[in-house]
Structures are given as C-alpha cells and as structure tokens.
Amino acid sequence: MVVAAFPLGKLAYLAIKQVSRPIANAVKSGAKKNNFFKRFVCMPPAQFYNWTQVVIKMRFLGSEGKVNVRKLSEEVAVDLGAELIGEAVVFTIGAATLIAEYVRAMAAAERKEEEKEKAFAELKSTVQELGLLVEKQDAQLRSLQRFNGSIHTELKNKGIDIRTDL
C-alpha cells in the first residue's frame, strides 16, 4: 500500500499566509486612516500599477501610439495601494521565512559536514595509531624470533634437541 506524502510545504505556506494576513490587514487599515501614508505610500504605487497595467493591456491590444491613462480616484487608489502594501507584507514575510529556512538548512548541512570531517579525522588518527602499533609489534616479534633463534642455537650446541614444529 502506497501512502501519499503529507504536503508539509503547502501546509507551511498556508500557515505563513494565515499568520501574515492579520498583519497585512493591520497595515492596510493603518494606511487608509493616515493621510501621510495615504498620500505618499499608498497612492503612488497604486497609480503606477494602474498606469503599467493599462499601458501593457493597450500594447497587447495593438495600440502603437501614446496611451493616455487616467489617474485613479483617491479612494480607489488608496484601496489598491493598501492592497498592494498588504500583499507586499505577505510576500516579505514569506520570503523571510524561506530565507530563514534556507539559512537553517545550510547551517545543518555545514554541521553535518563538520561532523563527517571530524569522524574522518578520528578514523585517520586511529588508523595511524594502529599502524604504529603494528610496527611496534612487528619489531617485538622480530626481536623474539632472534631471541628464540639464539636460544635454539645455544641448546643445539649443548646437544639438547628441541621440537621446532610448533
């Protein structure tokens, strides 16, 4: 039986969107109430967005001359600007979340790589230590073999026969 993967990415996206919506709505309502915010923050992007949208539509429809775009009314411009600001807030929160997740994943990958390097260094050190131990034991074995050979020779010289097939 195949179990479908739980769409954690979609769930996270929806959670971020749901959390950022109230923040965006608060920014939008504040923008609609504050005259400075209305005039200098909401209206210019809304007018630019409207102008760009109309010009692009007219170009697609085949208009080649200068396109005369009427400005939006203050109320419509403020609503559109506040909506643009709200969407920008949602996008910014989403982008910040993605960047934070990327940084976290990179840090985790870096930690994992450091752990691998540390384990490799420990294994290399252990192999070197074992190599030295083997060399030391090899030297001790040669010394014991020489000692055994000298004892065997002395015993043979004295006429004592020993078993050598051990």
Q: 14-61, pLDDT tens digit by residue?
A: 777 777 778 777 777 777 788 888 888 888 999 999 999 999 998 888
CA distances from 16 to 88, 96, 99, 165 (A): 14, 10, 13, 81
- 3-state class (DSSP) for residue 131: helix
pLDDT of res. 39: 86
Does pLDDT of 1 surpass 70? no
Give the pLDDT confidence of 62-87 residue by residue, as tens digits: 887 788 889 999 889 888 988 888 88
CA distances from 152 to 137, 162, 166 (A): 22, 8, 13
- Give the residue from 86, 47, 100, 104 showing the smallest Cα distance to 70: 47
Give the pLDDT confidence of 3-12 residue by residue, as tens digits: 455 566 667 7
Average pLDDT over residues 85-99: 82
Amino acid identity at 129? E
More confident residue, 158 or 162: 158
Highest mean predicted confidence (pLDDT) among 72-81, 126-135, 151-160: 126-135
Q: Which residues of 117-137 are buried (b: 16+ CB within 10 A; e: fewer)?
A: eeeeeeeeeeeeeeeeeeeee
CA distances from 136 to 51, 84, 133 (A): 85, 77, 5
pTM comes to 0.59
More confident residue, 158 or 46: 46
pLDDT band of 116, cuts 50, 70, 90: very high
